[in-house]
C-alpha cells in the first residue's frame, strides 16, 4: 500500500483513467498483455508505486480467485485507493466491452470473408509479442539478480514443457513455488 492516495489530484486520476482507456483498446490478448506499459506509466513515468508494488499487485491478483483482470484494480488501489481502483478498472473495462459488443456483432456477419480471416490470423503474432513482453517484465527482477541462472533455467524448462507437452501449466506454477521456497530463484 502506498501513502500517496491522498496526494493524487483529480487531474492525476483522470490521466490514470485515460491511460487505461488507451491500454484497453490495445489489450488484444487480455489486460495482462499491456502490463509493460502499465508499469512504464505508473512506476517509471509517474512514480506512483514502486516496482515491487507493481509486481506484487499482479502476483496477488493472479493468486486470488476470479478474473485475471483483477490485477488492474489492485494496481489502481495501490496508486490511489478506491478511486484509483475505479479509474483503472473502468478505464480498462468500458472501452473494450463496448468495442467487443459491436465488433462481435459485426464480425459474426462477416466471419467467412477473406478480410476477417486475415485480421483474425494477424492478431496471433501481436498477442504473442505482447505476452512475451509481459513475461520479460515480470521475469526481469529475477534474471537480473544474484540467482539469474536458476530463474533462466526455470523459464527455459517452462517454455520447453509448454511447447512440447500437454502438461498442465499448474504443475509449472507448483514447480516455480517449490523452487522459490527453496531459495533457488
pLDDT tens profile 105-135? 988 888 889 988 898 889 889 888 888 888 8
First to last CA, the chain: 25
Three-state SS for 98-120 is HHHHHHHHHHHHCCCCHHHHHHH
pLDDT digits (tens, 9 = 90+) for 30-47: 899 899 999 999 999 999
Give this prediction's pTM: 0.66
Residue 7 has a pLDDT of: 67
Residue 5 has a pLDDT of: 52
pLDDT digits (tens, 9 = 90+) for 54-75: 998 998 888 888 888 999 999 9
pLDDT at 2 over 50: no
Distance from C-alpha of 98 to C-alpha of 35, rounded to nearest angstrom: 21
Residue 141 has a pLDDT of: 81
Amino acid at each position: 500500500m502506498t501513502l500517496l492516495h491522498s496526494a493524487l489530484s483529480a487531474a492525476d486520476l483522470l490521466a490514470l483513467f485515460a491511460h487505461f482507456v488507451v491500454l484497453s483498446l490495445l489489450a488484444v490478448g487480455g489486460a495482462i498483455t499491456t502490463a509493460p506499459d502499465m508499469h512504464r506509466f505508473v512506476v517509471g513515468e509517474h512514480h506512483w508505486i514502486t516496482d515491487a508494488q507493481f509486481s506484487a499487485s499482479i502476483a496477488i491478483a493472479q493468486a486470488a480467485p476470479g478474473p485475471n483482470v483483477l490485477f488492474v484494480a489492485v494496481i489502481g488501489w495501490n496508486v490511489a485507493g478506491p478511486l484509483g481502483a475505479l479509474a483503472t478498472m473502468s478505464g480498462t473495462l468500458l472501452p473494450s466491452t463496448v468495442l467487443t459488443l459491436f465488433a462481435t456483432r459485426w464480425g459474426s456477419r462477416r466471419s467467412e470473408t477473406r478480410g476477417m480471416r486475415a485480421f483474425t490470423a494477424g492478431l496471433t503474432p501481436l498477442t504473442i509479442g505482447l505476452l512475451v513482453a509481459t513475461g520479460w517484465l515480470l521475469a526481469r527482477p529475477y534474471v537480473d539478480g544474484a540467482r539469474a541462472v536458476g530463474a533462466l533455467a526455470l523459464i527455459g524448462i517452462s517454455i520447453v514443457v509448454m511447447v512440447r507437452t500437454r502438461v498442465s501449466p499448474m504443475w509449472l506454477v507448483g514447480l516455480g513455488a517449490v523452487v522459490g521456497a527453496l531459495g533457488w530463484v
